[in-house]
């Protein structure tokens, strides 16, 4: 019989497991859950508050298995990228970005992506597979073991934020993603505040509506264009759920929140494509017309092999930003991090074949440093 991988269970699924599979009392679930996520334990023998026979029984029916780290690369700016092997033989990437007291982990949800945004290297790979809950939360577990676990290292909590902005469209792998986010938020898990767990979506509207009824996390919407004509080209899912439909869904999401949080619109700056002042002007109009509570995050395009797009020049990005700021829209420009190790937004590719080539490059990089 296949072993149950306890890493992927939410606390309430763990309760079901200990009661149904082990015939144990519910409180054991909390103990096991804390061992895994707060102490980083992957061996039942280390769970010292469980009786020995229970530990032995656990080892017979269950495992705690994170994806295997096939490569780890450190950027000069402190960004770390892991290439992780997942079931089925392919690989994904997770990226840790330190910034003062903040440590943001960028988590993947799928191998590849079916949505084929024209400027995204993950999209260019096509869809390979959905990650399991253990493969998603396993990325947080691995980073926490590197940078500080919730309980053991309270003084230096190093994974303070999680963004579902790695490879894949999180809302197309709905349940594993939501379950993993529950464990991120759980006080017996990683205890990260709901404002610091952000799901980024290109706009899968029905799933967005469902999300609003099931979990409360922060939201980022990949907009990238201020009108349907252009967005149809850059973000093809726009042909199914256009800008108005998407804005109505995001408004419903905000309305259902218990506080007055705003959402973030992500806007990748593509030279000569969506970065002109007329686009900024249209974006201002769109945001004003809908009255949506939002910030805008401009992302300088990160090039990857085979793309025809180029990054907008700095003065163009700044002029675009100024136009929005003058209209009282909070607008930030994302600093590119980890591009020397191909860890920047949209540069994540994770096939095993790629990994081999990349590994060679990492080795070179490490030799140079």
Is 20 a residue of the active site?
A: no
Closest by CA to 6, choosing from 31, 27, 161, is 31
CB of 9 to ligand SF4, least distance (A): 26
State how far the Cα of 115 lies from the Cα of 231, in Å rounded to an integer.
Answer: 13
Name the site residues for ligand SF4 (rule: CB under 6 A). Answer: 113, 115-117, 120, 122-123, 168-169, 202, 222
- In terms of Cβ atoms closer than 10 Å to its own Cβ (0-12, 13-18, 19+), residue 353 is exposed
Q: Which position has the token pair 């990226």?
A: 95
State how far the Cα of 277 lies from the Cα of 285, in Å rounded to an integer.
Answer: 12
Closest to ligand SAH by CB, 160 vs 312, is: 312
Q: Which position has the token pair 């290439």?
A: 83
State how far the Cα of 37 lies from the Cα of 141, in Å rounded to an integer.
Answer: 7
Partner from ligand SF4, ligand SAH, none binding residue 268, C-beta < 5-8 Å depending on class: ligand SAH
CA angle 166, 185, 194 (to 5 degrees): 80
CB of 27 to ligand SF4, least distance (A): 40
Closest by CA to 141, choosing from 239, 68, 210, is 68
Closest to ligand SAH by CB, 190 vs 301, is: 301
Partner from ligand SAH, ligand SF4, none binding residue 345, C-beta < 5-8 Å depending on class: ligand SAH
Is 106 a residue of the active site?
A: no
State how far the Cα of 3 lies from the Cα of 21, in Å rounded to an integer.
Answer: 11
Closest to ligand SAH by CB, 120 vs 284, is: 120
Check if the beta carbon of residue 165 is closer than 8 Å to that of residue 106.
yes
Partner from ligand SF4, ligand SAH, none binding residue 66, C-beta < 5-8 Å depending on class: none
State how far the Cα of 348 lies from the Cα of 341, in Å rounded to an integer.
Answer: 10
Q: Is 335 helix (H, G, I), strand (E, B) or coil?
A: coil
Give me the residue whose beta carbon is nearest to ligand SAH.
346
Partner from ligand SF4, ligand SAH, none binding residue 270, C-beta < 5-8 Å depending on class: none
Closest to ligand SF4 by CB, 143 vs 220, is: 220
Q: Single out the catalytic residue among 24, 93, 169, 266.
A: 93
CB of 310 to ligand SAH, least distance (A): 11
CA 82 to chain CA mean position, Å: 14
Give me the residue whose beta carbon is nearest to ligand SF4.
123
State how far the Cα of 290 lies from the Cα of 293, in Å rounded to an integer.
Answer: 9
CB of 107 to ligand SF4, least distance (A): 12
State how far the Cα of 188 lies from the Cα of 95, in Å rounded to an integer.
Answer: 24
CB of 155 to ligand SAH, least distance (A): 31
Cα–Cα distances (Å) from 91 to 180, 210, 307, in that order, read 19, 29, 22
Q: Which position has the token pair 């900024």?
A: 280
Partner from ligand SAH, ligand SF4, none binding residue 264, C-beta < 5-8 Å depending on class: none
CB of 279 to ligand SF4, least distance (A): 18
Closest to ligand SAH by CB, 241 vs 301, is: 301
Cβ of 173: how many Cβ atoms within 10 Å?
23
Partner from ligand SF4, ligand SAH, none binding residue 302, C-beta < 5-8 Å depending on class: ligand SAH
Closest by CA to 135, choosing from 66, 192, 218, 205, is 66
CB of 48 to ligand SAH, least distance (A): 40
Closest to ligand SF4 by CB, 38 vs 122, is: 122
Partner from ligand SF4, ligand SAH, none binding residue 116, C-beta < 5-8 Å depending on class: ligand SF4
Name the site residues for ligand SAH (rule: CB under 6 A). Answer: 117, 119-120, 165, 169, 200-202, 222, 266, 268, 299, 301-302, 345-346
Q: Single out the catalytic residue among 106, 117, 294, 345.
A: 345
Which residues are known to be catalytic?
93, 345
């Amino acid at each position: 019989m296949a072993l149950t991988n306890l890493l992927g269970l939410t606390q309430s699924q763990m309760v079901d497991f200990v009661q149904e599979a082990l015939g144990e009392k519910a409180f054991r679930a909390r103990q096991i859950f804390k061992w895994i996520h707060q102490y980083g334990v992957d061996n039942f023998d280390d769970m010292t508050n469980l009786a020995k026979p229970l530990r032995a029984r656990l080892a017979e029916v269950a495992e705690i298995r994170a994806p295997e780290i096939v490569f780890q690369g450190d950027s000069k700016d402190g960004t770390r990228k892991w290439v992780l092997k997942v079931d089925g033989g392919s690989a994904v990437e997770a990226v840790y970005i330190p910034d003062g007291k903040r440590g943001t982990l960028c988590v993947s949800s799928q191998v590849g992506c079916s949505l084929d945004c024209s400027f995204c290297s993950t999209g260019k790979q096509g869809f390979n597979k959905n990650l399991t809950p253990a493969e998603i939360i396993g990325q947080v577990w691995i980073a926490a073991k590197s940078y500080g676990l919730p309980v053991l290292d309270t003084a230096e909590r190093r994974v303070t934020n999680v963004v579902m902005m790695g490879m894949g469209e999180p809302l197309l792998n709905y349940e594993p993603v939501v379950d993993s986010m529950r464990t991120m938020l759980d006080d017996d898990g990683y205890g990260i505040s709901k404002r610091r767990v952000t799901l980024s979506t290109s706009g899968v509207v029905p799933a967005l509506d469902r999300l609003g009824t099931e979990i409360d996390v922060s939201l980022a919407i990949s907009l990238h264009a201020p009108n349907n004509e252009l967005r149809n080209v850059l973000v093809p899912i726009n042909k199914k759920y256009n800008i108005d439909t998407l804005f109505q869904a995001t408004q419903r999401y905000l309305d259902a929140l218990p506080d007055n949080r705003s959402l973030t619109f992500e806007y990748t700056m593509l030279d000569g494509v969506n970065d002109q002042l007329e686009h900024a002007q249209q974006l201002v109009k769109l945001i004003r017309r809908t009255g949506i509570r939002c910030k805008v995050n401009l992302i300088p395009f990160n090039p990857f092999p085979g793309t025809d797009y180029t990054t907008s020049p700095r003065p163009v990005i700044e002029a675009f930003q100024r136009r929005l700021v003058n209209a009282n829209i909070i607008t930030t420009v994302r600093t590119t991090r980890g591009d020397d190790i191909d860890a920047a937004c949209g540069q994540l590719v994770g096939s095993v074949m790629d990994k081999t080539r990349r590994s060679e490059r990492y080795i070179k990089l490490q030799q140079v440093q």
